[in-house]
Amino acid sequence: MHRFFTAPEQFPSITGGDAHQIKDVLRMKIGEAIELLTGDGLVHKARLTNLAKDRIDCEIISSGPADSEPKIKVTLAQGLPKGRKMDLIVEKCVELGVHQIIPMLTERTVAKEAKLERWQKIAKEASEQAKRAFIPEIKVPAKFSDVLQLKDQFALALVPWEEEDKTSLKQTLAANRSARAILLLIGPEGGFSKVEVESAIKAGFVSVSLGKRILRTETAGFAALAAITYELG
């Protein structure tokens, strides 16, 4: 069953691009069923009752709590990559259950442009595809030093680093099974500088290894997030 998010103020109707998709792309008919969400943790089964040019009206059949969200809330602070790599990172990390994403500016960040509106749209579409209960927020870009200051808001803060050879992500997660809010830092192309990692450790972050292979920036977040949700959520 197709799932769509709609603004609370227009619930249970749908407008904009989703209305176009239902009417002109999916070619759905009056009487067909969909799922509607407003981001409040509930999923509403609905029936299409009116297909106007730019508005779809629905009748609610039943409502209940959504069960598709992980128990663990992971915030990904992603070193802003070049090109359209961030599109892929947003899409796949939302599918994997990320709670929110902070584009991050680091010493080795080359990318200068943040496409928040585009990334939020990708997050919405990925949430619908993955049948999530809410749409993760893509925050405004933040400096590395500012992200470090968020550490106390989380039960566990992690900085994967290719030079870490003592502490693995698996070991750290095993020692923190009660953690329910995690901040995960991922470096840009070229990774974090040694000074940045030392600053993160001084701020209370745990430096961890993701394995013996060096991962690209657009892969590291997927790998770490998948491992975290598998182990804890």
Region 74-90: mean pLDDT is: 95
The predicted pLDDT at position 169 comes to 95
Three-state secondary-structure class, residue 54: coil
Render pLDDT for 108-134 as a digit per residue (tens, 0 to 9): 998 778 899 999 999 999 999 999 988
- C-beta of residue 159 within 8 angstroms of C-beta of residue 183: no
Q: Please give the model's pTM, rounded to 2 decimal places.
A: 0.87
The region of weakest confidence among 17-21, 31-35, 55-59, 115-119 is 17-21
Q: How far is CA 102 from the centre of its chain?
A: 9
- Domains recognised in the chain with CATH numbers: 3-65 (2.40.240.20), 73-232 (3.40.1280.10)
Query: Is residue 233 scored above 90 in pLDDT?
Result: no
Residue 17 has pLDDT above 90, yes or no: no
Average pLDDT, the chain: 93
For 5, the 3-state DSSP assignment is strand
What pLDDT is recorded for position 54? 86
Convert the pLDDT of each residue in 169-221 to its tens digit: 999 999 999 999 999 999 999 899 999 999 999 999 999 999 988 999 999 99
How far is residue 19's CA from residue 13's CA, in Å, rounded to a whole number? 9
Does the structure show a pLDDT above 90 at 78? yes
- Cα–Cα distance, 48 to 51 (Å, whole number): 8
Residue 67 has pLDDT above 90, yes or no: no
List the one residue out of 96, 83, 67 whose CA is nearest residue 217. 83
What's the burial of 81, exposed, middle or buried (CB within 10 Å: 0-12/13-18/19+)? buried
Q: How many helices (H) and strands (E) does the chain have?
A: 7, 12
Average pLDDT over residues 74-101: 96
